[in-house]
Chain A
Amino acid sequence: MAAPPTAATPSSAAPTDPLGVAGSDASLRRFLHGLPGVDQVGVEARAAGLGTRSVKTTAKAYALDLAVRMVDLTTLEGADTPGKVRALSAKAVRPDPTDASCPAAAAVCVYPDLVATAKQALGSSGVKVASVATAFPSGRAALDLKLADVANAVADGADEIDMVIDRGAFLVGDYRRVLDEIVAVREVCARPGGHDAHLKVILETGELATYDNVRRASWLAMTGGADFIKTSTGKVQPAATLPVTLVMLEAVRDFRRATGRMIGVKPAGGIRTTKDAIKYLVTVNEVAGPDWLDPDWFRFGASSLLNDLLLQRQKMRTGHYSGPDHVTLD
């Protein structure tokens, strides 16, 4: 194949089925089951090895700022209120009020009914609004309801839609149904006159059970036109793990080699510490490659990670640790 293209800005005109494998149910199935297997012991050993990289001084300072810029600051509680979302949005724009050099987070991630609030609170800050639609987190609703959910969020101005796949259909082998839903959602993400909402497809890897399934679901989502593939809703354990993210990074790397298109990756749920975040960045760097070290191509779905990153930034700036009272609650 041709040399890999240089990093491009994400295009929402993602073609579905760039490899031409979804012509029939049988060919789709044959393709997904023809992907190389994933050896559990091997992939976990590789992830553990990458986790021991020592990142300090200049590399650490770079990693901290990059990680802040990659955070999708998330609140997904039944108790969410406009006030909470406005506070979170302020935090995303100015994570550390004591330090003007601190970059903004990538996005705030909210339920669809709070998109308008977030959009207004963020204004022209450049921080994106992501919304979990498609009957998040279970995805167990009729397709027209899921599409309506997405349409609402898009109409209210969501920049990014995080959809969940139908894990039941996936596990029963009905890949066509999963694919069709992704394609349908992606159509609803389109806005007249461009500026489509970007589509992040949540695989809920904790329910897929095997790494082989994670790889297949990743390719299925990319075939359906996903801009991003995301590990988890955060509502199911285990959520994001390093080996699962590694398998997904291999998938986007291979997809780019096969099609020339770059797809983003977003681990979500359970990443709480700077130490963990840096392990993910090392894995991005060494598995997918440095092109993915950018908020356009890698995100952290997290709520508490940001504060730990800020404490570490303060430590690097001042030389000593502060404490939880030196960063804002939300």
Chain B
Amino acid sequence: MTQDATPAPASPFAYAPAPESTSVVDLRASYGLFVDGAFVDGRGESFTTLNPATEQPLAEVAAADSADVDAAVKAARRAQERVWGRMPGRERAKYLFRIARIIQERSRELAVLESLDNGKPIKESRDVDVPMVAAWFFYYAGWADKLEHAGYGTTPVGVAGQVIPWNFPLMMLAWKVAPALACGNTVVLKPAETTPLTALLFAEICQQADLPAGVVNVLTGAGETGRLVVAHDDVDKVAFTGSTEVGRQIARAVAGTRKRVTLELGGKAANIVFDDAAIDQAVEGTVNGIFFNQGHVCCAGSRLLVQESIAEEVLDRLRARMSTLRVGDPLDKNTDVGAINSREQLDRINELAAVGEEEGAGRWAPDCELPSTGYWFRPTIFTGVTQAHRIAREEVFGPVLSVLTFRTPAEAVEKANNTPYGLSAGVWTEKGSRILWMAERLRAGVVWANTFNKFDPTSPFGGYQESGYGREGGRHGLAAYLQEENR
């Protein structure tokens, strides 16, 4: 089968817009910092957070300066030493369970606010992100009174400075905060500059749960605020998820200090499709692997490695499937691909896509209409890509897939591993023994078999090489938040 990617004729069965109501969200004109159990004004220069789908301002948000950071770390230290670190695990568990239940109760509010601030489709924030956030708190609540069985000791590290990215604002918060609190640590959390709102709503939830003051502190701000949190002398542990570049800066900043650090950085994952794969599901998994959350996923399957013998057929089906993706209003329940999170990120995606064209790769995107305002990028594939192309090596962090081919399993492994990253990989084949053979050889923190982008609180997640170090999730996720000497 050859080129057969003409978009399907317009259907009379065009779904009418089905926007989720925003009335559940009580947006305030401005937000302060959350320090020591209370909302306070920030001393830095406040900034505006935008709705990336409309470019309209959502709210003014305070920025924390060094004095604010100091106050938050002091509050966290006090709470850790006097209350939270001394509290029996079973008591901490009650708070975490309570937070998890409130997240479920307020799930619609959280999902709508997340989609407003981030631009991700409501069906993802509603059906994936928020349920996962609740699950993460439930899971680590369960560990709080069983730490002695985990094998990492029972003594908390102390105060954790946590800096999280804009792609999964709530989920990354949960991945960081839930295990830290379960182990008896307190946290100073810095959400991303473009997506601070749900972290502030989470702060409200902490108040609602009567969490003792100072256990969770939320400092909004840009990169400088993050640097101050990481560099603060009284922070015992740094946890960061974000770009490899910032990860390097953090590693330098904490080098030679007593601080412990976990980094979860970029990726350039390979999604490897063998000729005996369940082909429709492999295509679906490829679509999910790269276009989920607009490709703003560190473990996104951004390189499709397809066996040469079925390459044309897979591409054909992939183009047909991509033509059914609906790009647009994130709050419409039928939207599959939402807005790019920021102008800056859109510029970077455009830049790298242009590089792909210059390199001579074949660019293709479905002919879908994009809204006139907001930040948008069509789901795009580049064919004829080789290992020597920049788009096969650099993380685009957007809905852009590079398609490469291979002939043998060994070649697939070589190509998949030929990257400075190593966060995830996918293998698509009906042959169980080949899955195991591949999984042994792929240098990636997660290898998915016949699926992609599946997360679970019980399963550890983290990277090799420039994708960072340390593991989050599962029993392993406790290790970063407990003292080594007790191991």
Residues in A lying within 8 Å of B, measured CB to CB = 1, 3-4, 36-39, 41-43, 45-46, 52-60, 62-63, 66, 250, 257, 281, 285-286, 289-291, 293
Contact = CB atoms under 8 A, between A and B. Distances in A.
Interface string B475-486: 000000000000
Chain B interface size, as a band, is 20 to 34
Contact of B16 (A39, A56, A289, A290): A56
B278 A3 contact: no
B12 A290 contact: yes
B276 interface: yes
B451 A293 contact: no
B4 A1 contact: yes
The 3 lowest CB-CB distance pairs between A and B, nearest first, are A42-B281, A290-B11, A54-B18
Contacts of B10: 290
A55 B15 contact: yes
A133 B281 CA distance: 35
B6 A3 contact: yes
Contact of B9 (A36, A41, A290): A290
Contacts of A52: 123, 127, 333
A275 to B, nearest CB: 14
A42 B4 contact: no
Interface in B1-42: 1-2, 4, 6, 8-16, 18
B91 interface: no
Given A55-B15, A59-B15, A290-B12, A36 B277 contact: yes
Contacts of B333: 52-54
Which applies to chain B's interface (DSSP): helix, strand, loop or mixed? loop
Given A1-B1, A52-B123, A250 B11 contact: no
B13 A63 contact: yes
Interface of B: 1-2, 4, 6, 8-16, 18, 123, 127, 276-281, 284-285, 324, 333-334, 430, 450-451
A217 to B, nearest CB: 17
Contacts of B430: 37, 39
Contact of A36 (B4, B15, B280): B280
A53 B205 CA distance: 31
B278 A66 contact: no
B334 A290 contact: no
Contacts of A66: 13
B434 to A, nearest CB: 13
Contacts of A290: 8-13
B290 to A, nearest CB: 16
Contacts of A4: 4
Nearest to B20: A54
A257 B1 contact: yes
A192 to B, nearest CB: 38
A58 B14 CA distance: 8
A41 B13 contact: no
A55 B12 CA distance: 13
A52 B10 CA distance: 21
Contacts of A37: 276-278, 430
Contact of A39 (B6, B12, B278): B278
B280 A54 contact: no
A257 B3 CA distance: 12
Contacts of B6: 3
A41 B450 contact: yes
Given A1-B4, A58-B16, A59-B13, A250 B450 contact: no
B278 A42 contact: yes
Of A41, A59, A66, most B-chain CB atoms within 10 Å: A59
B13 A46 contact: no
Contacts of B4: 1, 3-4, 257
Given A54-B334, A290-B11, A41 B451 contact: yes
Contacts of A53: 15, 333-334
Contacts of B1: 1, 257
Of A36, A58, A250, A293, most B-chain CB atoms within 10 Å: A36
Contacts of B18: 54-56
Contacts of A62: 12-13
Contacts of A286: 324
Contacts of A285: 11, 13
Contacts of B9: 290-291
Nearest to B321: A286
A46 B18 CA distance: 20
Contact of B451 (A3, A42, A54): A42
Contact of A42 (B2, B16, B284): B284
B281 A39 contact: yes
Given A3-B4, A290-B9, A46 B284 contact: yes
17 contacts: A36-B280, A39-B278, A39-B281, A39-B430, A41-B281, A42-B281, A42-B285, A42-B451, A46-B284, A56-B16, A56-B18, A59-B16, A66-B13, A285-B13, A286-B324, A289-B8, A290-B11
A250 B280 contact: yes
Contacts of A58: 14, 16
Nearest to A61: B16
A53 B13 CA distance: 12
A291 B10 CA distance: 10
Given A53-B334, A54-B333, A38 B280 contact: yes
B398 to A, nearest CB: 22
A38 B278 contact: yes
Given A55-B15, A55-B18, 5 more contacts: A41-B281, A43-B280, A54-B334, A59-B14, A290-B10
B254 to A, nearest CB: 41
Contacts of B280: 36, 38, 42-43, 250
B171 to A, nearest CB: 19
A168 to B, nearest CB: 26
Contacts of A293: 11-13
B13 A54 contact: no
B89 to A, nearest CB: 36
A55 B332 CA distance: 11
A46 B281 contact: yes
Contacts of A42: 278, 280-281, 284-285, 450-451
A39 B15 contact: no
B17 to A, nearest CB: 8
A57 B16 contact: yes
Nearest to A7: B9
B281 A38 contact: yes
Contacts of B15: 53-55, 59
Contacts of A289: 8
Nearest to A6: B9
Nearest to A4: B4
Contacts of A39: 278, 281, 430, 450
A43 B277 CA distance: 13
A140 B224 CA distance: 77
A54 to B, nearest CB: 4
A6 to B, nearest CB: 9
Of B123, B280, B451, most A-chain CB atoms within 10 Å: B280
